[in-house]
Amino acid sequence: MIIKLDENPGTEEVFDFINEAISKRAFIIIVACCRIKYRGRATSRLGSGDRTIIIKTDGSFLVHQDYNLEPVNWQPPNCKFKTRMENDRVYICGVRRNPPESLEVEICKTHMISYHIGKDIKKLELAGYEEDLRTMIMESPELIEKGFRPTSKEYQVSTGFIDILGKDKNGSLMILELKSRQAGVNAVKQLKKYFEDFTDHKDFVRGLLVAPSVTEDAQELLEKYQLEFKALEPPKELKSAKSVTLDFFNK
């Protein structure tokens, strides 16, 4: 990884530093006293304050304050950057054409500036979501109950898409509504809507809410609607996670 850093640089040094980093498509971090102007779908202005300015290799442009998770101003990837030096200030402008908008940062005093060029081509792996729960049930239907046979997933009805549709060991239709977290009354109401799409065969239809747990209100509503609940946790292991044992070295 290539890293370059400077503390308390002068105006000309900051200007040259930023242009060098942009030309190299580096990841830039600037801690500075700055002002911000945005023009586009709306107009905004933020007065002088110490903030963290970030320019990413994909052209994202963000300004963070010392609080809150989200940036106070930002532009998405593929910005085109223009810089200028005027009255002992450095200006960075991130411009987009579609939609037409611009974010301009006026740097009054730079406390720290850095850039780095690294390698990171990995994509974030996720586990523990509804899709993971759906895949687990489709691959191991006995987790629902013995004899359960899933027939389709994301089955479309008039009120939406049923997560999993299948049949129990007696041939009754089973409607599964999946939630990866504790389910509330909204999940029960959604399941009830799916159930009502099969009212012509309600004697041979079962509605099943599948989730790690349900709220007390949801449990009462399930009993009221004569729907069922199955406690089941989605898998939390990442697909790429593999344990290495001594057998691996004995091959």
Q: For CATH 3.40.1350.10, list the domain ranges present in the chain.
A: 130-231
CATH class of 2-117: mainly beta
Q: For CATH 2.70.180.20, list the domain ranges present in the chain.
A: 2-117
51 near 71, Cβ under 8 Å?
no
CATH class of 130-231: alpha beta
202 near 176, Cβ under 8 Å?
no
The pLDDT profile of the chain, 251 residues, written as one tens digit per residue, is: 899 999 999 999 999 999 999 999 999 999 999 999 999 988 999 999 999 999 999 999 999 999 999 999 999 999 999 999 999 999 999 999 989 999 999 999 999 999 999 988 777 666 678 999 999 999 999 999 999 999 999 999 988 999 999 999 999 999 999 999 999 999 999 999 999 998 776 678 999 999 999 999 999 999 999 999 999 999 877 665 544 444 433 44
Q: Residue 27: which of 4, 51, 10, 50 has the closest Cα?
A: 4
Counting every residue written for the chain, the total comes to 251
Residue 3 backbone phi and psi in degrees, to 5: -130, 135
Q: What is the DSSP string of 165-227?
A: EEE-TTS-EEEEEE-SS-B-HHHHHHHHHHHHTTGGGGGGEEEEEEES-B-HHHHHHHHHHT-
Which pLDDT score, from 0 to 100, does residue 202 have? 64
**Whether the predicted model's global pTM rises above the 0.85 cut:** no
Farthest-apart Cα atoms in the chain, separation: 82
How, if at all, do strands 80-86 and 73-75 pair? unpaired
172 near 206, Cβ under 8 Å?
yes
Q: How many CB atoms lie within 10 A of CB 21?
A: 22
Which pLDDT score, from 0 to 100, does residue 33 have? 98
Both tokens of residue 122? Answer: 């990995």
Report how far apart, in Å, the C-alpha atoms of 129 and of each of 167, 203, 237 are. Answer: 24, 32, 11
Report CA 75 to chain centroid distance, whole Å.
17
Which pLDDT score, from 0 to 100, does residue 238 have? 67
> Burial letters for 138-157: b for 16+ Cβ neighbours within 10 Å, e otherwise?
eeebeebeeebebeebebee
